[in-house]
């Protein structure tokens, strides 16, 4: 079986292992692993991702591939004692995609390859069931036509629906062999009509075309969208697994199903899954028929059910994680078709991680690796208020938890369009298919009338963290009339507001009020000084903040225990961006270790704005000093509150950094006022004089104009007012016995001389205040590195600055040449679709560009001043992917919004573990 070692593309299932997912894809690698540990897997072979990449790059399959497939197919035929598509006793195979990372439903699968007008007769004879044979053939025709030939799936769905209607059949199970034979004829004619060519009768041609179609499905629109959503690289390609068919549609003693070793929605232990008798696997995943619970298999076939439970236990023990398993029972014989580490909801991820720790399967470090900051953020979202008014109209299966409220949209395009206008949307479908992915991403929640917990809607929604309710049989979804009705008379038109509860499966008319997540309440409690982070009730842990009857107690316990380990593991500190006392308190309660960015310009809005205006526009030092003296006590009180809340922790105060126009009268309004006065013959001399001043200060690009350090240098006394307020507030608190730790940050520095001038003035003011009040005052003074020039001269600046805080928002703007307020709505969507970047560089740091600038500045700054403190205070400080980069370049802390502090704490720990393993 061994070809040229450099060009080998095909591997039998008994030749690989679970560690070869790069080469064999997740499906192929796990089929090989199950084969190796002795589980009942139908024989087959896998075409590697190398072959796919070659095909995608050149448009042609590798030259050696056909010969290797010939070899492995011949070996498979010999092992099975049958020949592909033989008219007497045909071997049939499935052709299934399988990338390194699970992409459920995004690529193609084709079953029953090898059936044709001759072999269908042989299959009927050998199986003893003509109905089964014709049912299998019509499935092949539909899947082959849609996947390989590009015919719309709806063409075949409508033909099946029309046949059922003419036979007064409620489901496929009510159709006869003659009915399916008629449907085969109809399907072949539909293929000829739509493609201008007949369905290929040559089994090997079917196989070859199916393989190329699976390769090509890597680049379908939905696959690209899914990879972008899940941040999966575009250059991996997919493997193709070719597996001998086993049949769940042979009769009532056969069936197919999907199961999980733990509940993927909640994480609770037990028997979870879906089963469909007399069906093939696509029926379960597509949600075409509502499934039975897995226990129904036990009622029908106790031996297969017991064997399945043992295999589930074996697989979870082997993979040391919750497993997602596909299986088929063929006339009482159980076959395993796939396994993978199962996708799960955020709550399930935390519960399962801690269950496995408590069971001794994994350690706490591994548990941290298995949860993410994004999942923690999901758990912090509000939930429905149980005490609020609500009208339940139906109930289905709780497939993915959460509380979602929005306008009912009956197709993906509508959901995307409404979400693009800022509306919250619930996507309502009979069942979803992979083409609904864009709508699922745009929607707040997904609601289907068909399907089970393992249907396409459920699996994809769980993976994305979307609220999802499936299998709501009481809902009669009519996509043509754009409405939903229930037997009780409830009616939903497209655009009506509905609410869905992914934890209970309930569907409500109207908007249901929400309440704070119990996880948020627990995290806030855990962050307070008196809290015991152990999470152990007997040791007084924060679990006492919930009643023992709470359904969330085990989840909260898992979160708190993992957060405690995260804090003990992470190297980087986590601070918060906070400008007010209330924000500072919330940040500290969430576990922030200080404030990394206190924006003082936010303190000068409202009634204080006029005072700043007077400082900037004053004609004399006396006028300016009067305005500054009025501002001083107000600014001092601001700092008193924040420093007191953050007692003993650092508070980085950024000196005033607004675009100048934010503190000046509106030029247009003032111009109109002066013009109207002149037109009425009542000129306003004060307004006219003010207009001239405003015109003098008017800027074409305020974001790059008179702001930051430039404002402090040009407007005498403005920065020194703030420094004095900081010093006086700190001195007062020190006299009270507190430990204020302010740090002064000079913004928008481009040159070391700018910084040095402000630093000297600030140090003189601090010393002056210290002498006045008799308190020893000494504060760190540093700068925000937010301009490329500052980063490139970091060595010189570090000789004068005690800390750098990287302002990655402005750094991104100035590096890319973007005006954030303009470009995000103008062309970012196009850039993402074109693959210029996968995600907005304002959301996740542009590592190749902005990241490189930051890393150079950090490295050279540390070389010049080894004790230089390095932090990040842009929005990237709370972004999980960016945090891993900041760990890699050894920043000392990240700073983010208070609500993101727990996320940053968790991801900083995961980044530490990743760095230790060489993965960050």
What does each C-alpha distance from 860 to 298, 854, 893 come to in angstroms? 67, 10, 18
**Kind of pairing between the strands at 383-384 and 514-515:** antiparallel
How many of the other CB atoms lie within 10 Å of CB of 307? Answer: 17
Compute the distance between CA of residue 72 and CA of residue 893 in angstroms, rounded to an integer.
55
Q: What is the dihedral of CA 767, 769, 773, 776, to 10 degrees?
A: -30
Does 873 qualify as catalytic in the annotation?
yes
Residues in the chain, how many? 920
Q: Strand, helix or coil at 866?
A: coil
Q: CB–CB of 258/288 below 8 Å?
A: no
Compute the distance between CA of residue 53 and CA of residue 215 in angstroms, rounded to an integer.
8
Q: CB–CB of 227/124 below 8 Å?
A: no
Q: Which of 873, 876, 884, 896 is catalytic?
A: 873
The phi, psi pair for 683, rounded to 5°, reads: -60, 140
250-268: b or e for each residue (b if 16 or more CB lie within 10 Å)? bbeebbbbbbbbbbbbbbe
Q: CB–CB of 502/472 below 8 Å?
A: no
**Angular region, 422: left φ>0, alpha ψ -120 to 50, beta rest:** left
Q: Which of 72, 456, 565, 661 is catalytic?
A: 456
Tokens representing residue 236 in the block: 């991996």
Estimate the crossing angle of helix 21-36 against helix 49-58, to 10 degrees: 150
Q: CB–CB of 652/597 below 8 Å?
A: yes
Compute the distance between CA of residue 469 and CA of residue 461 in angstroms, rounded to an integer.
10
Q: CB–CB of 274/62 below 8 Å?
A: no
**Of 693, 763, 671, the residue nearest 726 (C-alpha):** 763
Q: What residues have CB less than 8 Å from 793, skipping those under 6 apart?
A: 751, 752
Does 456 qualify as catalytic in the annotation?
yes
Q: Catalytic residues, which ones?
A: 456, 873
């Amino acid at each position: 079986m061994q070809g040229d070692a450099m060009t080998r593309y095909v591997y039998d299932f008994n030749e690989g292992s679970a560690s070869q997912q790069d080469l064999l894809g997740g499906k192929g690698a796990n089929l090989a692993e199950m084969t190796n540990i002795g589980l009942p897997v139908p024989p087959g072979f896998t075409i590697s991702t190398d072959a796919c990449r070659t095909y995608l790059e050149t448009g042609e399959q590798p030259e050696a591939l056909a010969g290797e497939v010939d070899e492995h197919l011949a070996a498979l035929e010999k092992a099975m004692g049958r020949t592909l598509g033989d008219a007497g006793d045909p071997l049939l195979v499935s052709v299934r995609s399988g990338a390194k990372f699970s992409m459920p439903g995004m690529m193609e699968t084709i079953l029953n390859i090898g059936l044709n007008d001759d072999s269908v007769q042989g299959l009927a004879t050998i199986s003893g069931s003509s109905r089964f044979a014709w049912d299998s053939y019509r499935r092949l025709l539909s899947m082959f036509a849609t996947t390989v030939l590009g015919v719309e799936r709806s063409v075949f769905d409508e033909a099946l629906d029309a046949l059922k209607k003419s036979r007064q059949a409620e489901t496929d199970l009510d159709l006869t062999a003659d009915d399916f034979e008629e449907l085969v004829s109809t399907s072949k004619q539909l293929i000829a009509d739509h493609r201008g060519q007949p369905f290929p009768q040559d089994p090997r041609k079917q196989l070859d075309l199916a393989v190329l179609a699976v390769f090509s499905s890597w680049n379908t629109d939905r696959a690209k969208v899914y990879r972008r959503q899940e941040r999966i690289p575009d250059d991996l390609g997919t493997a193709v697994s070719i597996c001998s068919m086993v049949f769940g549609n042979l009769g009532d003693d056969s069936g197919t199903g999907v199961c999980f070793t733990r509940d993927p929605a909640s994480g609770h232990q037990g028997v979870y899954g879906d089963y469909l008798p007399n069906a093939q696997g696509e029926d379960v995943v597509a949600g075409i028929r509502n499934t039975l619970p897995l226990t129904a298999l036990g009622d029908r076939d106790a031996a297969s059910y017991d064997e399945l439970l043992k295999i589930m236990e074996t697989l979870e023990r082997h993979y040391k994680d919750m497993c997602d398993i596909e299986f088929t029972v063929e006339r009482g014989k159980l076959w395993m078709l796939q396994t993978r580490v199962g996708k799960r909801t955020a709550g399930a991820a935390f519960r399962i991680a801690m269950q496995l720790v408590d069971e001794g399967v994994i350690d706490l470090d591994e548990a941290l690796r298995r949860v993410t900051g994004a999942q923690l953020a999901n758990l912090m979202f509000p939930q429905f208020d149980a005490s609020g008014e609500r009208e339940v109209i139906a109930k289905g299966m709780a497939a993915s938890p959460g509380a979602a409220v929005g306008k009912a949209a009956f197709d993906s395009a509508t959901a995307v369009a409404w979400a693009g206008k800022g509306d919250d949307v619930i996507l309502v479908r009979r069942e979803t298919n992979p083409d609904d992915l864009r709508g699922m991403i745009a929607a707040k929640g997904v609601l289907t009338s068909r399907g089970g917990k393992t249907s396409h809607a459920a699996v994809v929604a769980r993976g994305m963290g979307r609220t999802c309710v499936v299998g709501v049989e009481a809902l009669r979804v009519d996509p043509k009339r754009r409405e939903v009705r229930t037997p009780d008379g409830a009616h939903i038109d497209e655009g009506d507001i509905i609410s869905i509860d992914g934890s209970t499966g309930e569907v409500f008319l109207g908007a249901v009020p929400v309440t704070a997540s119990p996880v948020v309440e627990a995290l806030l409690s855990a962050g307070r000084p008196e809290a015991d982070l152990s999470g152990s009730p007997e040791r007084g842990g924060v679990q006492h903040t919930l009643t023992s009857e709470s359904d969330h107690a085990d989840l909260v316990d898992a979160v708190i225990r993992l957060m405690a380990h995260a804090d003990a593991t992470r190297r980087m500190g986590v601070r918060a961006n906070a400008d007010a006392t209330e924000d500072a308190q919330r940040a500290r309660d969430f576990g922030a270790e200080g404030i990394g960015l206190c924006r003082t310009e936010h303190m000068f809005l409202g009634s204080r704005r006029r005072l700043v205006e007077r400082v900037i526009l004053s004609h004399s030092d006396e006028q300016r000093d009067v305005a500054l003296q009025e501002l001083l006590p107000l600014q001092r009180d601001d700092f008193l509150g924040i420093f007191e809340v953050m007692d003993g922790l650092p508070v980085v105060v950024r000196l005033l950094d607004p675009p100048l126009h934010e503190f000046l009268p509106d030029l247009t309004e003032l111009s109109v006022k002066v013009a109207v006065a002149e037109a009425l013959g009542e000129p306003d001399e004060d307004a006219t004089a003010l207009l001239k001043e405003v015109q003098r200060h008017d800027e074409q690009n305020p974001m790059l104009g008179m702001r930051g350090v430039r404002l402090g240098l040009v407007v005498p006394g403005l920065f020194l007012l703030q420094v004095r307020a900081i010093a006086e507030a700190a001195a007062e608190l020190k006299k009270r016995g507190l430990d204020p730790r302010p740090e002064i940050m000079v913004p928008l520095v481009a040159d070391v001389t700018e910084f040095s001038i402000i630093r000297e003035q600030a140090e003189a003011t601090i010393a002056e205040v210290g002498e006045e009040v008799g308190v020893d005052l000494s504060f760190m003074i540093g700068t925000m590195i937010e301009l490329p020039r500052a980063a490139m001269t970091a060595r010189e600046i570090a000789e004068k600055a005690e800390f750098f805080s990287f302002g990655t928002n402005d750094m991104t703007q100035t590096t890319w040449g973007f005006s954030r307020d303009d470009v995000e709505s103008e062309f970012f969507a196009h850039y993402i679709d074109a693959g210029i970047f996968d995600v907005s560089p304002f959301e996740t740091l542009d590592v190749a560009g902005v990241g490189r600038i930051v890393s150079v500045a950090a490295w050279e700054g540390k070389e010049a001043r080894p004790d230089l403190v390095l932090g990040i205070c842009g929005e990237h400080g709370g972004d999980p992917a960016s945090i891993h980069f900041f760990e890699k370049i050894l920043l000392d802390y990240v700073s983010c919004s208070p609500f993101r502090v727990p996320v940053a704490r968790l991801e900083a720990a995961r980044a530490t573990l990743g760095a230790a393993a060489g993965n960050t």
